[in-house]
Amino acid sequence: MADLLSLFPAGSTFAEDRTLVIGGCRADNLAEEFGTPVLVVAEHALRARAREYVDTLAARWANSRVVFASKAFPCTAVQRVMVEEGLGLDVAGGGEILTAIKAGIDPGLIVLHGNAKSDEEIAIAVEHGVGLVVVDNSDDVDRLEATVPEGRTQDVLVRIIPGVTADTHAHVLTGHEGSKFGLAPADAAPLINRIEQSTRLRMQGLHVHVGSQILDVEPFAASVEPVARLGEFPIYDLGGGLGARYTWADNPPAISEYLDSLIGAAREHLPAEAQIIIEPGRSMVCESAATIYRVTTVKRGKVTFVAVDGGMGDNLEVALFEQRFEAGIVGRFEGPDHETVTVVGRHCESGDVLVDGVDLSAPAVGDLLAVPATGAYCFTMSNNYNGNRRIPVVFARDGQSRLVVRRETWDDLTARDVD
């Protein structure tokens, strides 16, 4: 269990009494001040990760840009950190455009994605001057040409299906044949030609993405050559998808290893003067946050269930993607009387499991339980199932904590009712 600390945000430590400390803040103090469950982001670790991406890519390809895939953690405060560290923002809908604007982004540094963009989202993008719209289909072109005012042009990329199947969960594969995202090269060619003839759109380049939580560099490199076959363009957006470390069994490639492979393929296949964009999401934020829960029930029998005051309302990764997490009792990561338990949530579903089969030290009602690596997609997919109130987000840095997203109130649950 001593290894568990390595899964928490960089810089996490134990206090003298072995209490977990994140961003210089004791977990028990955070729980007392903000309640539980609470999602804690180590701000220094988050900023360091952003800078590492920017510096590592720039060292390998000067004309480059790192664009944070906001869907991994579309919290305004997280987007603002990325803006302050010099990154652009990749958004996947109108709401993420608006939070990006609130975060202070130059709209020209926004990249808009989506396989089924609405008229309203296209209008929001054009109104705010979004820099790049990734065209997923011919309907995107129809909507853009109908929306962009006469005398203006909108820069676009065309999303390509590279025909690469990565080793990851089927629900997060995107580059395989038959993907709902993008176009096969043969189908993309005539659309590219159409865009090049348009008076309101400007063909800037191509986009490719092979999936998420990928722990091998080969699929990224393999996706470059199919894109290069479609011609030379000013911009190539090579997507994201690098995996994160959720458990001590995970061994994701380092950023340097990932970019050595990806940029190696770019040097082989792409024009030297082109701009390269990458879109890290999960690997940018996952390991920079942890969630602290309170144990509400311990039920011993054929299986020992340790139930906490959160669950699939704040972490859908397990139910949707079968993602494995680890956990520890705060103050007793290395404590006595370990037993193998299943950590479950409070929601009325048998699938509401946070960690199936984890060793905890003498779990008891009232204990704090900490789960690392919850920075990616947990906030994104939080929900109100069973009247659940979505949990707060707290930034911790140098021993100081600040609330950046408040916990929902009971009144919030009925705020949209009209009758």
Q: For 270-292, what is each residue's pLDDT tens digit?
A: 999 999 999 999 999 999 999 99
Asked if residue 304 and residue 193 are part of one domain, the reply reads: no
Asked if residue 12 and residue 56 are part of one domain, the reply reads: no
- Is the residue at 201 inside a domain? yes
A 10 A CB-CB count for 393 gives: 26
pLDDT band at residue 210 using 50, 70 and 90 as cut-offs: confident
Q: The domain that contains 281 carries what CATH number?
A: 3.20.20.10
Q: Which position has the token pair 């950046």?
A: 404
Asked if residue 174 and residue 271 are part of one domain, the reply reads: yes
With beta carbons less than 8 A apart as the criterion, state whether 291 and 39 touch. Answer: yes
Nearest to 221 by CA among 208, 233, 235: 208
- Is the residue at 18 inside a domain? yes
Asked if residue 396 and residue 269 are part of one domain, the reply reads: no
Integer Rg of the chain from CA: 22
232: Cβ–Cβ under 8 A, 6 or more apart, which residues?
271, 274
Asked if residue 163 and residue 66 are part of one domain, the reply reads: yes
Nearest to 162 by CA among 141, 190, 181, 140: 181
Average pLDDT over residues 74-95: 97
Q: Which position has the token pair 């705060």?
A: 330
Report the chain's mean pLDDT, rounded to a whole number. 93
- Is the residue at 419 inside a domain? no
Looking at the DSSP bridge assignments, the partners of residue 394 are: 40, 403
Nearest-5° Cα angle at 366, 361 to 367? 30
Joined together, the tokens standing for residue 357 give 């089969």
Asked if residue 27 and residue 74 are part of one domain, the reply reads: no
Asked if residue 243 and residue 171 are part of one domain, the reply reads: yes
Asked if residue 223 and residue 332 are part of one domain, the reply reads: no
- Is the residue at 32 inside a domain? yes
Which residue in 25, 286, 348, 378 is the catalytic one? 348
pLDDT of residue 347: 97
pLDDT of residue 164: 64
- Is the residue at 161 inside a domain? yes
Domain count, the chain: 2
With beta carbons less than 8 A apart as the criterion, state whether 43 and 395 touch. Answer: yes
pLDDT of residue 353: 97
Among the three residues 285, 302, 318, which one is the final residue of a domain in this structure?
Answer: 285
> At residue 166, does pLDDT exceed 60?
no
pLDDT band at residue 335 using 50, 70 and 90 as cut-offs: confident
Q: The domain that contains 309 carries what CATH number?
A: 2.40.37.10
Asked if residue 146 and residue 277 are part of one domain, the reply reads: yes
75 catalytic residue (yes or no):
no
HEC letters along the chain: CHHHHHHCCCCCEECCCCCEEECCEEHHHHHHHHCCCEEEEEHHHHHHHHHHHHHHHHHHCCCEEEEEEHHHCCCHHHHHHHHHCCCEEEECCHHHHHHHHHCCCCHHHEEECCCCCCHHHHHHHHHHCCCEEEECCHHHHHHHHHHCCCCCCEEEEEEECCCCCCCCCHHHECCCCCCCCCECHHHHHHHHHHHHHCCCEEEEEEEECCECCECCCHHHHHCHHHHHCCCCCCEEECCCCECCCCCCCCCCCCHHHHHHHHHHHHHHHCCCCCEEEECCCHHHHHHHEEEEEEEEEEECCCCCEEEECCCCCCCCHHHHHCCCCCCEECCCCCCCCEEEEEEECCCCCCCCEEEEEEEEECCCCCCEEEEECCCCCCCCCCCCHHHCCCCCEEEEECCEEEEEECCCCCHHHHCCCCC
Among the three residues 239, 260, 285, which one is the final residue of a domain in this structure?
Answer: 285
> At residue 77, does pLDDT exceed 80?
yes
| Dihedral angle of Cα 201, 206, 207, 208, to the nearest 10 degrees | 150
Asked if residue 158 and residue 81 are part of one domain, the reply reads: yes
Q: What is the pTM of this model?
A: 0.94
pLDDT of residue 377: 96
Q: How far apart are CA 285 and CA 357, in angstroms?
A: 25
Looking at the DSSP bridge assignments, the partners of residue 235 are: 205, 275
- Is the residue at 85 inside a domain? yes
pLDDT digits (tens, 9 = 90+) for 112-157: 999 889 999 999 999 999 999 999 999 999 999 999 999 999 999 9
With beta carbons less than 8 A apart as the criterion, state whether 162 and 210 touch. Answer: yes
Domain span at residue 119 reads 44-285
- Is the residue at 248 inside a domain? yes
Asked if residue 93 and residue 232 are part of one domain, the reply reads: yes
Among the three residues 262, 285, 308, which one is the final residue of a domain in this structure?
Answer: 285
Asked if residue 323 and residue 278 are part of one domain, the reply reads: no
Q: How far apart are CA 153 and CA 144, in angstroms?
A: 10
